Amino acid sequence: MPKINRYVDIDSVEKEAKKDYIDRHSPFIHCEKTAKAGEPFAVTVKMGNEYTHPDDFDHFIEGIQLYNGETLLAKADFVAGMLGGQDHKGHATVTFHIVPSKNLTLVAQSYCTKHGIWESDPVSVTVA
C-alpha cells in the first residue's frame, strides 16, 4: 500500500523549504458547509494554499480525487503542461459538482508524480 502524506501545520514547521514542500503538495477543499439534498453542490479542490506545485514533464500533479468517506465521488486526471509548464503561476484546481443525498465527510487526495499521494483534512458538510 502506498504511503499517504498529510498536511502538517505550517506553524509547527521551522524551515521555509519544508513549508513550501508541504503546502504545494497538499490538496485543500473549498465548499459551503451546508448543501441541499438532490441539488448540485460545488466542491473545489486546490493544490497548495500559498505555494504552487511544479508543472514539469517529470514532476506534476497527475490527478485529484474526491471522496465521501471511503466512496469515490469524482476524479480529475491531468497531464504535464496543463498549467503552462515551468513558467506557470497558478494552482492545479478543479471544481466538482456533486448531488448529495446525506451528510458528507469530504476528503481529497492528489497524486504527485515525484512525491506520491497527498490527502486533505476532512471537511464536513451538512445536507438538509
The pLDDT-based confidence of 14 (bands split at 50, 70, 90) is: low
Task: Give the residue from 58, 50, 54 showing the smallest Cα distance to 7.
Answer: 50
Q: Tell me, what CATH number does 29's domain have?
A: 2.60.40.730
Distance CA 49, CA 58 (A): 22
- Per the structure, how many domains does the chain have? 1
pTM of the model: 0.85
What is the bridge-based pairing of β-strands 93-98 and 116-119?
A: unpaired
Range of the domain at 111: 4-127
Residue 113 pLDDT > 80: yes
Which of residues 19 and 63 earns the better pLDDT score? Answer: 63
